[in-house]
Amino acid sequence: MRILGIEGTAWAASAAVFEYDPDDPAPLDADQPFIETDAYQPESGGIHPREAAEHMGEAIPAVVESALDAADGPIDAVAFSRGPGLGPCLRIVGTAARALAGTLDVPLVGVNHMVAHLEIGRYGSGFDSPVCLNASGANAHLLGYHDGRYRVLGETMDTGVGNAIDKFTRHVGWSHPGGPKVEEAAKDGEYVDLPYVVKGMDFSFSGLMSAAKAEYDEGTPVEDVCFSLQETIFAMLTEVAERALSLTGSDELVLGGGVGQNERLREMLSTMCADRGAEFYAPDPRYLRDNAGMIAVLGAKMLAAGDSLTIEESAVDPNFRPDEVDVTWRADEASVAFEPMETAERQGAEAIVTVESVEPRSTEARTQSGARVIKRRLPKAYRHPALDERLRRERTVAEARLTSDARRQGVPTPVVRDVDVAEATITFDRVGDRDLGAALTPDRARMVGAHLARLHRAGIVHGDPTVRNVRVDDRCYLIDFGLGYHSGHVEDHAMDCHVFGGSVRGTAGDTDAVLSAFEAGYAEAGDEAVLDRLREVEGRGRYT
């Protein structure tokens, strides 16, 4: 089959033709798919939606014509980006796609742009069920296929990653887009500390960007700010990608989105994957930045699965989220998630955890399960040494302190036997016989809800309460408090609940029963306002 793809969500007026044989998928190369793009370049400032839409109106007919000229025969379907993106741009492109499908008398296929960013990487890599990091202008997500959908394992809590960088370059007076200019300037920069914010697998850029602007205003050389911005932002993205690999047990990562063209980001991801024995694939830059090739490739898979739209169904959606897409072109059983195994040595996202048995004769050291675990936060080669030192030290201190604080509040946690801050090493009693991820039931989820509520009432935030950070036997023990802190804010408490929910949706079955039990457990012991805020956090339109 031969698919025409059209893209025009923001800056790229682009058309492509892709020849697809489901039984013999062709590799991506320089001329397959054929892509023609006409980029919108704002005269000043960032992207103006109305100007960008005018650009689409002018440029789309010409790029479509080039694509049709390059096609080797008749077109079987027209695929277009239905969203997310700028409303005025989407409407112009939607109208063009409908008209063209009508004229050619072929089906119309509506593609989610963010799912296209990840599927092009999956197609190019040949990986079956990877974790996907989408690092684009208006978005930043971690996605994994589970239970028939691409689940959002983590995402930005405020702006997209490219937009955050572009706002900084606007502040210093550089033209759009800022990403490549920051990359260039960073080559001569030195490191200064900037705020680093990850919450489970979610992350936030707003505090970091304000601090970067303030550094610049106070006279820190712009190269140093650019260097440190890259080191900080990309370390955050690499860390959450590693957390997603650890949570799901996957050993495949693909990159998507325009910021993925950045060499330093690719280097960090590739180092992280190599160090944990995972495979990493980043598509060629022509498939990372917005392009119609990725729309045509996913459009072809959708068409092969019989997934097309009537004109009435084909309205565009500026807030189209990737987890709203009904994934028709993949088997329902496929999943990014693997059942965790009990081994003597565990590689988490941050640390190596080894189980040690304790001499039964030493009564003082004897514990219920007769074993200890040693958790070592080894240096991460992907991140700047100064940042690495700081994170390992801060988290070791926080983890030791909060694990004990939580137990004093009556929440089951392992006893801390020894802490070596210089070596970023903690020795705990071994607790539980499995991870919650291997034994998740509504009853256990209810216990976790009650434990979190109790923590929150005492002003403690866990920071990363996933199904891998709870150990179970007949009790549920919370572990891994390294991202924890003290706070009485409803928002921080709601984020903890959100992190738990995301880890369940991304890896478990029977999620509705599990999550309502979790909330019931929380409601019994905690503040209802937190669950109301959770609703708000989950419904929030994040992308500005």
Ligand X SMILES: C[C@@H](O)[C@H](NC(=O)OP(=O)(O)OC[C@H]1O[C@@H](n2cnc3c(N)ncnc32)[C@H](O)[C@@H]1O)C(=O)O
Ligand Y SMILES: Nc1ncnc2c1ncn2[C@@H]1O[C@H](COP(=O)(O)OP(=O)(O)OP(=O)(O)O)[C@@H](O)[C@H]1O
With CB under 6 A as the rule, give the number of residues binding ligand X: 26
Cite the DSSP H helix spans in 205-305.
Answer: 206-217, 222-248, 263-275, 285-288, 292-304
With CB under 6 A as the rule, give the number of residues binding ligand Y: 22
DSSP conformational letter for 43 = S
Is 375 one of the annotated binding-site residues? Answer: yes
Is 339 one of the annotated binding-site residues? Answer: no
Helix axes 87-104, 49-70, angle to 10 degrees: 30
Q: Which of 5, 121, 130, 160 binds ligand X (CB under 6 A)?
A: 160
User: Which residue number, 84 or 130, has a Cβ lying nearer to ligand X?
Assistant: 84
Q: Which residues of the shown chain bind Fe ion in the complex (CB under 5 A)?
A: 136, 290
User: What's the closest the beta carbon of residue 292 comes to Fe ion, in angstroms?
Assistant: 11
Angle at 536 between CA 532 and CA 537, to 5 degrees: 115
Is 162 one of the annotated binding-site residues? Answer: no
C-alpha distances (whole Å) from 111 to each of 4, 206, 304 are 12, 30, 14
Helix axes 442-457, 490-507, angle to 10 degrees: 160
User: Which residue number, 136 or 425, has a Cβ lying nearer to Fe ion?
Assistant: 136
Q: Which of 10, 75, 152, 460 binds ligand X (CB under 6 A)?
A: 10
End-to-end CA distance of the chain: 38
Part in contact with ligand X (CB under 6 A); list of ranges 69-77, 238-246, 252-260, 516-524: 252-260
CA–CA dist 96, 110 (Å, integer): 13
Q: Which of 94, 110, 293, 482 binds ligand Y (CB under 6 A)?
A: 482
Residue nearest to ligand Y (CB): 348
Is 517 one of the annotated binding-site residues? Answer: no
177 contributes a contact to ligand X by CB under 6 A: yes
414 contributes a contact to ligand Y by CB under 6 A: yes
232 contributes a contact to ligand X by CB under 6 A: no
431 contributes a contact to ligand Y by CB under 6 A: yes
User: Which residue number, 59 or 349, has a Cβ lying nearer to ligand Y?
Assistant: 349
Short-list 533, 402, 532, CA closest to 455: 402
Restricting to residues 80-109, name those near ligand X by CB under 6 A. 84-85
CA–CA dist 455, 471 (Å, integer): 17
Is 113 one of the annotated binding-site residues? Answer: yes
Part in contact with ligand Y (CB under 6 A); list of ranges 266-274, 289-297, 431-439, 520-528: 431-439
Q: Does residue 147 carry a catalytic annotation?
A: no
Q: Do 117 and 136 form a contact (C-beta atoms < 8 A)? A: yes
- Give the active site residue among 435, 464, 492, 496: 464
Q: Which residue is associated with the tokens 């209810």? A: 446
User: Which residue number, 189 or 257, has a Cβ lying nearer to ligand X?
Assistant: 257
Angle at 224 between CA 220 and CA 225, to 5 degrees: 75
Cite the DSSP H helix spans in 409-489.
Answer: 442-457
Part in contact with ligand Y (CB under 6 A); list of ranges 76-84, 162-170, 271-279, 476-484: 476-484
Residue 438 structure tokens: 């291997």
Strand partners, 39: 12
Binding flags for ligand Y, 331-370, as an x/- string (CB under 6 A): ---------------x-xxxx-x-----------------
Is 200 one of the annotated binding-site residues? Answer: no
User: Which residue number, 75 or 133, has a Cβ lying nearer to ligand X?
Assistant: 133
C-alpha distances (whole Å) from 440 to each of 443, 472, 478, 493, 516 are 8, 9, 14, 22, 13
User: What's the closest the beta carbon of residue 242 comes to ligand Y, in angstroms?
Assistant: 8
* CA-based torsion, 289, 539, 333, 143: positive or negative: positive
Which residues belong to the annotated binding site for L-threonylcarbamoyladenylate? 134-138, 166, 179, 183, 262
Active site residues: 464
**Site residues (CB under 6 A) for ligand X?**
9-10, 84-85, 113, 136-139, 160, 162-163, 165-166, 177-180, 183, 257-259, 261-262, 289-290
